[in-house]
Amino acid sequence: MQELESDCIFGNMKITIAGIGPGGPEDITPAAISAMSEADAVVGYKYYFQFIAPYVRKGAMCVDTGMKRERERAAEALRLASEGHRVCVISSGDAGIYGMAPLMFEMARKRDISTADLHIEVVPGVSSFQKAAALLGAPCGHDLCLVSLSDLMTPWEVIERRIRAAVEGDFVTAIYNPRSMGRWWQLHRLCELFLAGRAATTPVGWVRQAGRPDQSVCLTTLADFDPDEVDMFTVVLIGNSQSYIADGRFITPRGYFRESTSPEGMGVGREIMTESFATIVRELASTSADNNTKADMESGRRWALLHAIHTTADFDMERLLWTSPGAVKTLHELCTSGRVRTIITDVTMAAAGIRRGALQRLGIKVKCYLHDERVAEMAATHNITRTQAGIRLAVSEHPDALYVFGNAPTALIELCTLIRCGEVCPAGVVAAPVGFVHVKESKHMLRALAGGNSTRDPIPCLIVEGRKGGSNLAATLTNAILTFNDAAATGPGRDL
């Protein structure tokens, strides 16, 4: 190809840049066909000429180049236009999306070619992400963004910052140039970033060679997506927090049909709670470097943390919530298997917050001894608080219950003392007493006991450390235990 001389005169010349769609003849627009058929010089990547052969005028020059020769193509188009040729530059998909259109404008500007001398017209085309979306269902029903993983002209640091923004903004995201022979790890990193801020069940669809004879379409989830299955001819689409899969189709709601129920039939209350959890997940992703490890998910700590933040709107819970290894999962199994039949609370407010639907579903009873007529007499006789007396009485009748504390540190201290003396071995403890006197100490005592010893097995514990706590926190952590089987799908609000 001959370089364009700086003193070339264009006069009133025109270059048309046509997007030819992803590859199939049904996706080439009439405007693009017209632009190609009227040109006496067509410039493009040589691979694309097989798709446009029927539309190129007989006798027209076809100037084709290999990959990564975009600048040479642009220069050749300008040279041909300066010689008086009617030039059409072709670009796959839409020429303005990772295509030739921006480069043509930049090249003309760099060479000080004015619009009076050269008119550049852009003919839009069907972009690859649009074709892929149509094949998958309706994944682009709400706000979306496009991200290219090619770092040939964009530093990876910039690309990763944009990925993080897409996750935080809850955008449906289309991924261009996801993988090549020499660029394979970037898609794995993108998946890590999305899993830190989206549910594992988020739909992921990918389409290879969209609109071409060897087209392949796959629909999966973020957890099951294998980056090694795609290549440079693939477009990947990742849903937002509202996207779902139904009847083998990837759908993202338009967003303003709020009065309807989800495809799972959840009510408005649960739908709001699901949206709240999605917000928490996004905000956690922007503030925590490692909040979504596999161990954290499987043990249930993250599920409990989402409940704690949802109840308090306090992201400090990420630092304050401590769980013994596998506590949520272990306690859930004990509750669902029938080995935990009773939950003991220190105060009635904590009992009131535990979901009745979950208790009925699992056949579990909640009992608070605070107003038992025997408690007042015991408290007076032994000069202890009523909550302490209530725990002593509870231990005598339900030694293997799940104990939940949302108010009284003295009651938690009483239980710890009885555990250490070997008088009781509870199924587990949820500890969220609140206040200023003996609160921290009571929690330190429980944590010291949680690991077990030579005569006693470890005790599954959830502890809100420091002064913070409350009956609402104790109840919501208990609800997290009872609904842990919904954690993998981040589907909160069962039994509301």
- Cα separation, 48 vs 63, in Å, equals 11
Q: How far is CA 148 from the centre of its chain?
A: 18
- List Cβ neighbours of 410 (8 Å cut-off, separation of 6 or more): 384, 385, 387, 388, 438, 442
Cα dihedral 299/305/311/316 (nearest 10): 160
With residue 250 as reference, give the H or E element that holds it.
Answer: strand 249-251
- Cα separation, 90 vs 417, in Å, equals 79
In the three-class reduction of DSSP (H, G, I as helix; E, B as strand; rest coil), residue 167 is classed as helix
CA dihedral (219, 222, 224, 229) positive or negative: positive
Question: Please, what is the angle between helix 70-82 and helix 100-110, to 10°?
Answer: 60
- Cα separation, 281 vs 267, in Å, equals 21
Tracing tokens 């506590």 back to the chain, one arrives at: 327
- List Cβ neighbours of 182 (8 Å cut-off, separation of 6 or more): none
Q: How far is CA 266 from the centre of its chain?
A: 20
Q: Where are the alpha helices (DSSP H) in 118-241?
A: 128-136, 156-168, 185-195
Closest CA to 484 of 494, 473, 469, 471: 494
Catalytic residue among 310, 382, 438, 444: 310
- Cα separation, 90 vs 49, in Å, equals 9
Can 382 be counted among the known catalytic residues?
Answer: no
Residue 290 tokens, joined:
């490692």
Tracing tokens 């007042």 back to the chain, one arrives at: 376
- Cα separation, 460 vs 301, in Å, equals 12
Cα dihedral 426/429/435/438 (nearest 10): 50
Closest CA to 237 of 98, 126, 142: 142
CB neighbour class for 168 (10 Å; exposed up to 12, middle 13-18, buried from 19): middle
User: In what order do the strands lie in the sheet containing 428-431?
Assistant: 321-323, 461-464, 428-431, 402-405, 342-345, 365-368
- Cα separation, 346 vs 339, in Å, equals 21
In the three-class reduction of DSSP (H, G, I as helix; E, B as strand; rest coil), residue 366 is classed as strand
Residues labelled as active-site residues: 310
